[in-house]
Amino acid sequence: MPVTQIEAIYTDTGGAGIGTQLSRFFDSWLELSNDSTSIPLREAVIAEGQQTAYWIRNTAQQLDNLDMGNRAQIQDVVRDVNALLDELAQLDEKLGPMLAQGTDGGTLFDDRNRLVRELSGLIDINTYVEAKGTQVITTSSGKLLLAGMEAYHLDTEGTGSGQIVTYNGVDIGSEIHAGKLGGLLDFQNNVLGSFRTSLNDLARELASAVNSAHSQGATLNAPDDQAGDFFSVVAGNEAKSIGVEISDPAEIGARILGEAVGDATNARALSD
């Protein structure tokens, strides 16, 4: 489900994604190369640049929203795991005297089996029943979760990179591979992180490539008036910070520095 949500984020309601928007941005440079002094065409380049930057920033925000929702789900599942462990401990407390007297536990065994099945749907566990009838449950890596009437809880802690699951204060997220909790942790640590890195890389590389080419050009103001950066970004936070540096259409570097007004060499280079 979370992966499907990411796919929806990367494609707008019209079925177009960042590839379509980037094409529109670079096509606007091609249009400008046909009439490099046109103010409306220069304004169109700025507008498409702003729309591209907005798409990237908005996608970064949606990934943040998805992260917040995933963190909340991790907390909810850990609460559910602890609640099931408490129920199992209470059942064992009831079963203990009955088994000691040789009495059949009856439906209490059915209840215990049901709770164990529910627990295994949330987290990967190992479980066995001792000779005296006591239920023992551990994580798949051997962390003790239940020993008869004693339940040992998991906890969660928020960090900058995500929500971690702890046992006795130690992060055990890398030891949880299955169940709903395993899926949420895998999405957080592998899928979501990868998409965030890719989006930051896209913003950084786009800004760097466009700014490098744009600075080879000159503005409409004078033959030797060198163009500056087109995009602005904050290093390390490119996807959330990317914006268009230029507001004055005359500042667009459509011509090569030193060439006469009307030259469109740089606009054509930027359209490629």
Write down the residue that tokens 């379509």 correspond to: 20
- 1 has a pLDDT exceeding 50: no
Query: For residue 42, is pLDDT > 70?
Result: yes
User: Given its phi and psi angles, is residue 79 left (phi above 0), alpha (psi -120 to 50 degrees) or beta?
Assistant: alpha
CA atoms of 210 and 27, how far apart (whole Å): 14
Task: Confirm if 148 and 136 have CB atoms less than 8 A apart.
Answer: yes
| Of 16-20, 45-49, 234-238, 261-265, highest mean pLDDT | 45-49
Cα–Cα distance measured from residue 93 to residue 77, given in angstroms and rounded to the nearest whole number: 24
Residues with Cβ < 8 Å from 233, sequence gap 6 or more?
Answer: 203, 204, 207, 241, 242, 243
* 34-43, 96-105, 115-124, 199-208: least confident range: 96-105
Predicted pLDDT at 26: 95
pLDDT confidence band for 32 (50 / 70 / 90): very high
Residue 25 reports pLDDT greater than 90? yes
**pTM of full prediction above 0.85:** no
pLDDT tens digits for 127-152? 888 767 778 999 999 999 999 889 99
- Given phi > 0 = left and psi -120 to 50 = alpha, else beta, which region is 165? beta
Q: What is the mean pLDDT of the segment spanning 169-198?
A: 92
In whole numbers, what is the pLDDT of the chain averaged over residues?
Answer: 88
- Which pLDDT value is given to residue 261? 84
Residue ranges in 15-106 assigned as alpha helix (H): 18-34, 39-100
